[in-house]
Chains A and B, each alone.
Chain A
Amino acid sequence: MSYLKTIAALGLLTTVSVGSAFAQDLSIYSDKTPWNAGMTGVAADASTASGQTIKLQEITPTDKYQAFMQTSIAGNNVPAFFTWWNGQQLSDVVATGIAADLTPYWDKAIADGDFTAAQRDLVSVDGKPYGVLLNVANWVVFYNTAAFEKAGIAAPPTTWAELMADADKLKAAGYTPFNAPTSGGWMPFIWFSQLVLGNDPDAFVGLTDGSVPYDGPAVKKAFEIWGDMYSKGYFTDPREQDDSKFFANGTAAMFLIGDWHSGQFADLGMKPGVDFKTFLMPSVDPAVPQSVIVEASPIVVSKAALDANPDLGKAVQAMMGADVSNILGSQSQVYNGNLKGTPPNDIIKADNDLVAAAKPRALVRWWEAVPSQIQGDLVAAMGAFMLDPTPETAAKSMSTMQAINADYWANK
């Protein structure tokens, strides 16, 4: 009977597909589409070093990428390489046991003088490194030099009062002071965390470990300042989904973002160091010492893939070399901190000098520090405020965030 044959054929097909699907996926997965050129170069370099074909696979936007990686890890079907975040996000992945311990590769890289032990700590969990550094960035304020000139601002601000005064001048000159997008499912946390940090760095840290509530005085103050800035018309339309548009087309004069963004502005025709420069975001409260947010993103390596295919070790080692650093720098203006590599542009060099001179307190981004299970839910509440920056929405966002936060830490 032919339908019996159909069932038999279907069963056979299933078995075949189960067998073949366990072949490892030798790809680098990434959500960093703006760095496409550099990442493609990394994949090519890793392929040459290991003799394997390593392809680049991109999934965007970020929240969808996270979803994809989580399902892959949960289903024990992890790609060989994937870009991730350090801090709490990395700890979560390491806790599942899928990440390869990269100690031997880091030992060699440090011995070769490519990286320092301090850089290793950026991607370490409990003292062991679990990632190759892909990007080390300072969070700075980009500013449009032509706009500053037109508004009559001689030097970038060094205090909060100066920053606000400059914002007024820019506003008077016809600019929107700050570009503040909500896009990609993550950007709303930028100003929220910056304003908490600028008043109380300890509260900024405490928000991410459950010790400081999201409806306490530190957060209330941040929302007040934020709302005040919105009422003065300091921020761009949060509905715009192209995150660089208003800065690149000259509508907005400043943009608080990681300095890896300089490559995107360069792609859009702005010359780094000429059309735009950077300064460190001053603390809101003058009594609070200068701080800077440091972002480090790792490429995580699958333990299963590395165990099954030792040649991939050569790819890992290659990713830590100066060549890959320079590919990322020249192709996508991203700097991974390699000491033998050259910082890709004047902006990143200048930022490193700024940080070296100011000796600010370096802090992990809120995004990396917050428990990943509640990360997206909290960002949603911040974004809700940006679209409707009223005291009522602020109050609602705060109580929502605190309910989620309290529930998480109570059931931890």
Chain B
Amino acid sequence: MITTASASLSPEVLKDARRRERRVAWRQTRVAWLFIAPAVFMVSAFLLMPVVFNIILSFTKWQKFTGLDKFAGFANYARLFNVPYFSEALSNTAIWVVGAMVLPLAFGLGLALLLRNMPLQETFKSLFFLPKVLAPTAVGAIWYYVYAPHGVLNSAVAGLTGQPFDVGWLYSAQTVTPSVIFTFVWQTVGITMVLLLLGLAAIPRDPIEAARVDGASGWQIFRHIIWPLLLPTVLVVTILNVAAGFTTFDLLWVMAGDYPGKRTLSLAVYMYYESFSNGAWAYGSAVAVVLGAMVIAVTAALAVLQSRVEKNIR
């Protein structure tokens, strides 16, 4: 625009106009600074500075009580590989991520498809959504007793089968992670379903009806019409659940507090014990950095995928 205009205008006038434009822009910018200042200050001071400090701390010497100490290079990162607990925590986190990604989605999608044409849909939606409103701490407290040796689950199985039944769900390495993941699914499936229902509602009905008239099976309709159009929503849900799976803490903290191997149930829990119980601040910070790097890498990959899919649909 300016280049076409410049042909007919003298350089002085042009320069003046530009300067005026810049002055106006700067005046607005200065006002805008006041508007963004509180948010920028709070986020920088309480979130971003700690992250920078955390990264620095992870390169210092492992010291109880004292925190920041001598520079230690990659010693804390080397320790990750020397201590078996880190790999245990890592593999449990991997189970969590996969579980959190697949299970709420599978159940949520099933429910959403079932409920789509149901009477009383709103009631079911609210009922299934309710656990999400509860705090993980409260949910964990209830489920702790569901899984307890004489708790709800064992009693129910014993009552239905007539046999004594005693499984220490939260007390064995084989069952503790699946049990807590199940509770997570119980809490998350409702919100996943509601999000998917929103996505389903946005899918036009005509192509589905047309395919049905053409004799397409339910599976074919789902696979070729519903799923591609639902994919952006599915990916959003996946991003949310994967992030939750990576950083799971409250449920494990509350439900598995009595399990001796609790510290390796996830990287977030492991980081907590190393830092706040063992006093290994620097090492705990290194665990946090690794966790952060993984979360960011995976979320970024999913976000890129999501934006590609969305672009393809449009």
Contact = CB atoms under 8 A, between A and B. Distances in A.
- A and B, direct touch (CB closer than 8 Å): yes
Interface of A: 1, 3-4, 6-7, 63-64, 66-67, 70-71, 73-74, 92-93, 95-96, 182-183, 188, 237-239, 241, 372-377, 379-384, 386-388, 399-400, 403-404, 406-407, 411
Given A377-B85, A404-B83, A411-B79, A183 B34 contact: no
Contact of A1 (B34, B65, B259): B34
Main secondary structure of the interface of B (DSSP, over half): helix
A237 B167 CA distance: 12
Contacts, number: 100
15 contacts: A3-B34, A4-B34, A70-B279, A74-B65, A92-B64, A95-B65, A96-B65, A182-B258, A239-B149, A373-B278, A376-B277, A380-B262, A384-B260, A384-B261, A407-B82
A403 B171 CA distance: 24
Given A379-B260, A387-B260, A411-B79, A372 B84 contact: no
B143 interface: no
A7 B37 contact: yes
- Lowest 4 A-B CB distances belong to which pairs? A383-B260, A67-B276, A70-B279, A407-B82
Interface string B65-99: 11100000001000100111100000000000000
Contacts of A188: 260
Contacts of A373: 62, 64, 278-280
Contact of A376 (B41, B258, B278): B278
Contacts of B64: 70, 92, 372-373
A136 B241 CA distance: 52
Nearest to A63: B277
Nearest to A402: B84
Contacts of A383: 260-261
B281 interface: yes
A67 B277 CA distance: 4
B278 A374 contact: yes
B261 A183 contact: no
Given A373-B64, A373-B279, A407-B82, A7 B38 contact: yes
Nearest to B41: A7
B276 A400 contact: no
B169 to A, nearest CB: 10
A134 B94 CA distance: 46
Q: Sort chain B's interface into a size bin.
A: 35 or more
B220 interface: no
A406 B168 CA distance: 33
A352 to B, nearest CB: 34
Contacts of A374: 278
B17 to A, nearest CB: 31
Contacts of A387: 168, 171-172, 259-260
Contact of A403 (B65, B83, B172, B260): B83
A380 B261 contact: yes
Given A377-B263, A379-B260, A380-B260, A411 B83 contact: no
Nearest to B279: A70
B84 A237 contact: no
B62 A404 contact: no
A3 B35 CA distance: 8
Contacts of B261: 380, 383-384
Contacts of A411: 62, 75, 79
Given A375-B278, A383-B260, 13 more contacts: A3-B34, A63-B277, A70-B277, A92-B64, A95-B65, A241-B258, A372-B279, A377-B263, A384-B260, A386-B260, A387-B171, A388-B173, A411-B75
Interface in B203-220: none
B19 to A, nearest CB: 28
A400 B281 contact: no
A63 B75 CA distance: 26
Interface string B261-286: 11110000000010011111100000
A300 B258 CA distance: 29
B65 A399 contact: no
A96 B171 contact: no
Nearest to B283: A373
Contacts of B260: 182, 188, 379-384, 386-387
A76 to B, nearest CB: 10
Contacts of B264: 380
Contacts of A403: 82-84
Given A182-B260, A188-B260, A388-B172, A93 B83 contact: no
Interface string B233-266: 0000000000000000000000000111111100
A380 B263 CA distance: 8
B232 to A, nearest CB: 37
A70 B85 contact: no
Given A188-B260, A377-B85, A407-B83, A92 B38 contact: no
